[in-house]
Structures are given as structure tokens and as C-alpha cells.
Structure 1
């Protein structure tokens, strides 16, 4: 009997994370979806039949270890896809510590902690970690400082982790999408005071294609960094 790979995915409720989960579920892979609370877990389980869920609030990374200790964790993890994220636009002069902490916790500290907690399984499987980063992690525009800082930190995390885990056979990939149509993008446009035209931006399925291609790459190679931008 062929064993299907197990993927742990954050942010599977919408946007890129949902597109990746849908692709992997459709081909029969096993999914473990992170949810911030029990209600969200039930919603994800209903949306992706057969998927398992883990409850843990990325906004409170200090409690992820405690939360996981009270749940059944997957014995094997082939892939960890970090797709969850939050954004709160404001000039540096207007950003409060609370806004900074929220974005840094969800976008950077929680991925680091979740990775730490699942590294034993990933090492055993010679698995892969995918960080869905952002163009803001490479070049940050005005009013995007907190978000850009969290994503630049995420790049640093991925780069260091890649070197650390190479001897264990764990591959690490960073994907840097441009603006992608999603509920988050709609909120960004609202914060910018600009009309939102979903047709102008990348389809989440296009980014999911990139993520799945990185996962399916034969073991003789790995994708370190890939940038995805809206077409003309």
C-alpha cells in the first residue's frame, strides 16, 4: 500500500493556503490543517473532508507548545506550509506596539515556533518546509513597515533554517507572491482607501501551482526562492 504524504498547512481557510490545501486534498494526500480555535477547526474539517486539524492560535505563539501537548499530533510530517498571515498598514509614526507585536507574532514568531515543534517529524521524513512570504519581504513600501519587517524576518528564518537542516535532508523554500486576490487583499485595499478589483491580481491557484511544483521537485534538487508577480 502506497503511503500518501502528510502536509501540515496554516492559513488554509482562504487565499493561497486554501488553494494549496485544495490541490493536495484533490490528489489524495493527507492534510493536517492548523486552526485558531475549535470553531475554525470544524469549518476546515467540513471544507476538506478527511483532513485532520490542530488547534493553535498563531497570534499567541508562546502557547502553541501547550496547545499541541493537549492534542494528538501527526506522527509523520512530510511538508509544513506556512501560509497564514496578517497585515495592518500604517506609517511608522502611527503604528502602536500592539500592531507591531500582532504582525510579528503571526507572520514570524509563530512560524518559527511551529517549525521548531514539528522539526523532529520533518527530519525523520526528510521533508520540506515552505514559507509563503511576500514581495514586501524583499522590498517594503511606505506604510508597510511592520508587515515588511515580519516578512523580511521570515526570509532570514528560512535562509538560516535551510543551512541548519540541510544535513538532515530537510528542504526549505520561500515563495514571494505579489498581490494576490484574497480576503486579505480586499482588507489591504480598504486600508489603502483604494477600490478593489480582484481581476488585477494573481489568482491564488497560480501561487498554489508554484508551491506544489516545489514540493514535487525530485530530491536531486530544491527551490530556495521563487518570486511570483501579476502578469501583464
Structure 2
């Protein structure tokens, strides 16, 4: 009997990362799950219902922790899923340096650095790098400016590293879910209705992500209007400027921003 394929999943203590783990076990993978809180990771492992789930508490924004992750992975890795992320919303003028730095470190720097650390093991397995981005990495939304910037960066990194690794057998999949019902929803809940946002469950996002991984696809976008809007954004960005700009100026959106400021 062959050993199950290995997958490293960051940010696995809740939300999309938890459901990515559950789906990985269902597909026969042996996950190593990473997060900052042992109890949350343990709960994920229990929900996945497999003794093949290994747990490692680590903060992917810390170089020493990334080295510990590399040591735990060892010499071979079939799939790396850079899922850990964070979000702060609001007008750019309201965001302090800590919020900006936290998003850049977690959403962009950490995936790039961890990918670098995992490359030797991925090359051995001819494995796959999976970066969990966002539709906001294509359609830059007002009041999500800093978050959008990090996801634009992650999409650019995904394209560049895919081309850099061409011919090595290592593939790259960029997954761009729309807004998802996770704990982070509390950060932007007041904007859901004014910005006409559609939210998916973390389970649906994880299932679609694994479909893309298993098929070896270069990118995955949600089924629905967002996929069409991404195409419009790439071809006719001025149309999106007008539409989304009007949403940003609408009275109910401005009232939602005031609600967020008071929270």
C-alpha cells in the first residue's frame, strides 16, 4: 500500500482552512495543519475524523516558525496550501500602520516566504502550490483597499512562480473565493448589503478549491456573477470603476462605514 499524499495547510484552525482539512482527509491526503492556537487545530483534526492529521502550532509570519514548519514537513511535500490570512476594512485614512503591516505580513509576505521554504520538498514530489486569494485580488473594492492590494500581490506572485517553475513538475493554483462566511465576516458585516456581496460557505470554497487542485487548474473562481465581473474587470476596468464607485458613494454604504467606525 502506498503512503497517502501529504498536504500542508496554513490557517487551519477555523474557516476555510478547517474545511480544506476535512476535504483533504476525505480525498485520502495526510494533512499537516498549521495555526497559532492548539485547541482550534485539535478541533479541526477531530472534525476531520482521521488519525492521519498532524498538528503544528506556528505563526507563519515569523521566520523561525516557518523554519519549524519546514522541518516538520521533511523532504517531500505533495501540496502546499497557503491559506492563512487576515482582514481589516474601512477607508484607507482610518487604517493605522499596524493594520496595514499585519495584512501585508500575513496575506503576502508569509505565503511567499513559506513557498520558498517548501520548494525543495515540492520539487521532490513534483507537487503543487495553492494560494488562497480572493475575488478582491481582481476586483479592487473600496474600503477593502489594503486587503485587495495584498491579494493582487498574491495573484501576481502565483503567476510569476508558476512561470518560474515551468518544466520542474511543480504546479501552481490560485484560488479566488468571494466573501465567505467565517469569523472574518464580523469585520465587514455592515457592508454586505450596501455592496451587494454574496457570501459562500467555507465548505463550498474548500470543495471548489480541491476540485481545482485535483484537476491541476491554474486558477479557480466562484461560480456566479463574480466570475463574469472578473472578466469585465480585466477587459473594461472603467466600467467597473463607474459601477463600484457608485456603490462606494451611496448613502447606505456611507452609513455602513460609520457603523464600522463606531464598532
Give the deviation of 1:193 after TM superposition: 8.7
**Match in the other structure for 2:111:** 111
- Give TM-score scaled by structure 1 length: 0.85
Distance (Å, rounded) in 1 between the aligned partners of 2:91 and 2:148: 12
> Could you say which structure has the greater relative contact order, defined with CA pairs below 8 angstroms and 6 or more residues apart?
1
Give the deviation of 1:67 after TM superposition: 3.7
Q: Is the 8 A contact 1:8 1:81 kept in 2?
A: yes
Matches within 5 A, 1:1-232: 1-48=1-48, 49-50=50-51, 51-58=53-60, 60-68=61-69, 72-189=72-189, 192=191, 201-217=199-215, 222-229=216-223
Moved more, 33-42 or 154-163: 33-42
Q: Is the 8 A contact 1:80 1:128 kept in 2?
A: yes
Return 5+ residue gaps in structure 2 as ranges: 227-263
Distance (Å, rounded) in 2 between the aligned partners of 1:53 and 1:110: 19
- Give the secondary-structure state (helix, strand or coil) at the position aligned to 1:166: coil
Give the deviation of 1:39 after TM superposition: 4.3
Give the RMSD, CA atoms, in angstroms. Answer: 2.5
- Give the secondary-structure state (helix, strand or coil) at the position aligned to 2:21: helix
Distance (Å, rounded) in 2 between the aligned partners of 1:231 and 1:92: 27
Q: 1:19 to 1:38 in 2, by over 3 A?
A: closer
- Give TM-score scaled by structure 2 length: 0.76
- Give the secondary-structure state (helix, strand or coil) at the position aligned to 2:176: strand
Equivalent residues, number: 222
Distance (Å, rounded) in 2 between the aligned partners of 1:208 and 1:145: 25
Give the deviation of 1:176 after TM superposition: 1.0
Give the deviation of 1:202 after TM superposition: 1.4
Give the deviation of 1:94 after TM superposition: 1.6
Q: 1:39 to 1:119 in 2, by over 3 A?
A: same
Q: Is the 8 A contact 1:61 1:109 kept in 2?
A: no
Considering fraction of residues, name the structure with more helix: 2
Q: 1:178 to 1:42 in 2, by over 3 A?
A: closer
Distance (Å, rounded) in 2 between the aligned partners of 1:159 and 1:148: 17
Moved more, 179-188 or 154-163: 179-188
